[in-house]
């Protein structure tokens, strides 16, 4: 069985970095022709809550928005640190968004079309989930990116959690790097999209009928 941590233990031990304050940009974004833009960045946070690395994960619009957003995060934003399964401060990896619409900042929500780290298809959707649902997992990885522990949404059954965690941990993840650029163990956010095959077949059928 993949090493899982119960929801109760996870709540007090292993967790991701938590942003302190607002993500409202302190810079003027450059917009595309529709006066809109969006960026998602991957942020590595140190064990003392300082964002030390920031890179582009998704961009819609001028790439300069990524540079400006990362610069803002690394100079004026602080986090509470991630914690490993033993409850010790650890390097953490999270993904943050910024959106602009109609020429104005439109918030930092995670969109429904958020590109997942992994998309899986099942014969039948687990009870209680909706088609295309985005599920957040927290993974502990070693300095080589190999997954050692996994926790997931508490609303899932242990059997489903076990299966999805084993799926998430089947491949190594991009390791976090410290202030000197050296790979280090970390606690990482991992997003999975789950869709049933009958639903996908129906979508394809509708598209072909257009």
Q: State what percent of residues in the chain have pLDDT above 70.
A: 94
**pLDDT, tens only, 169-185:** 888 899 999 999 999 99
Given a cut of 70, is residue 145 above it in pLDDT? yes
Query: Which residues have C-beta within 8 Å of that of residue 205, sequence separation ≥ 6?
Result: none
Rounded Cα gap, residues 15 and 43, in angstroms: 15
Sorting pLDDT into bands at 50, 70 and 90, what band is 206? confident
Instruction: Tell me which of 157 and 17 has the higher pLDDT.
Output: 17
At residue 10, the pLDDT reads 52
Average pLDDT value over all residues in the chain:
89
Query: How is the chain split among helix, strand and coil, in percent rounded to 5?
Result: 20, 40, 40
At residue 81, the pLDDT reads 94
pTM, two decimal places: 0.87
At residue 2, the pLDDT reads 55
Give the residue from 110, 97, 136, 107 showing the smallest Cα distance to 16.
136
Residue with tokens 């976090």: 176
**pLDDT, tens only, 90-138:** 999 999 999 999 999 999 999 988 989 999 998 888 887 888 899 999 9
At residue 26, the pLDDT reads 87
Structure tokens at 63: 């790439």
Rounded Cα gap, residues 196 and 122, in angstroms: 5
Are 39 and 60 spatial neighbours (Cβ–Cβ below 8 Å)? yes
**pLDDT, tens only, 45-68:** 999 999 999 999 999 999 999 999
DSSP code, position 15: B
Helical segments of the chain, H only: 7-12, 64-76, 158-168, 197-208
Q: State what percent of residues in the chain have pLDDT above 90.
A: 60
Dihedral (CA of 85, 90, 95, 100) sign: positive
Instruction: Tell me which of 24 and 210 has the higher pLDDT.
Output: 24
What radius of gyration do the chain's Cα atoms show? 18
Structure tokens at 50: 């300082």
The beta-strand segments (E) located in the chain are 18-20, 37-45, 51-60, 78-80, 82-83, 89-101, 104-107, 118-122, 133-141, 147-151, 176-177, 183-184, 186-196
**Domains defined along the chain, listed by start:** 7-208 (3.30.2420.10)
**pLDDT, tens only, 184-195:** 999 999 999 999
């Amino acid at each position: 069985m993949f090493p899982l941590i119960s929801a109760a233990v996870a709540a007090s031990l292993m967790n991701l970095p938590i942003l302190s304050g607002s993500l409202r940009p302190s810079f003027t974004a450059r917009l595309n022709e529709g006066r809109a833009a969006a960026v998602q960045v991957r942020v590595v946070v140190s064990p003392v809550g300082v964002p030390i690395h920031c890179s582009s994960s998704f961009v819609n619009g001028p790439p300069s928005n990524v540079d400006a957003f990362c610069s803002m995060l690394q100079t004026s934003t602080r986090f509470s640190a991630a914690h490993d399964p033993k409850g010790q401060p650890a390097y953490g990896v999270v993904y943050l968004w910024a959106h602009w619409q109609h020429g104005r900042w439109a918030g930092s929500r995670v969109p429904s079309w958020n590109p997942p780290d992994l998309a899986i298809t099942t014969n039948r959707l687990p009870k209680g989930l909706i088609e295309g649902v985005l599920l957040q997992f927290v993974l502990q990885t070693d300095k080589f990116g190999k997954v050692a522990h996994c926790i997931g949404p508490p609303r899932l059954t242990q059997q489903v959690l076990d299966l999805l965690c084993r799926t998430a941990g089947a491949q190594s993840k991009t390791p976090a790097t410290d202030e000197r650029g050296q790979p280090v163990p970390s606690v990482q956010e991992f997003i999975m999209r789950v869709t049933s095959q009958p639903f996908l077949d129906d979508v394809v059928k509708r598209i072909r009928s257009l």
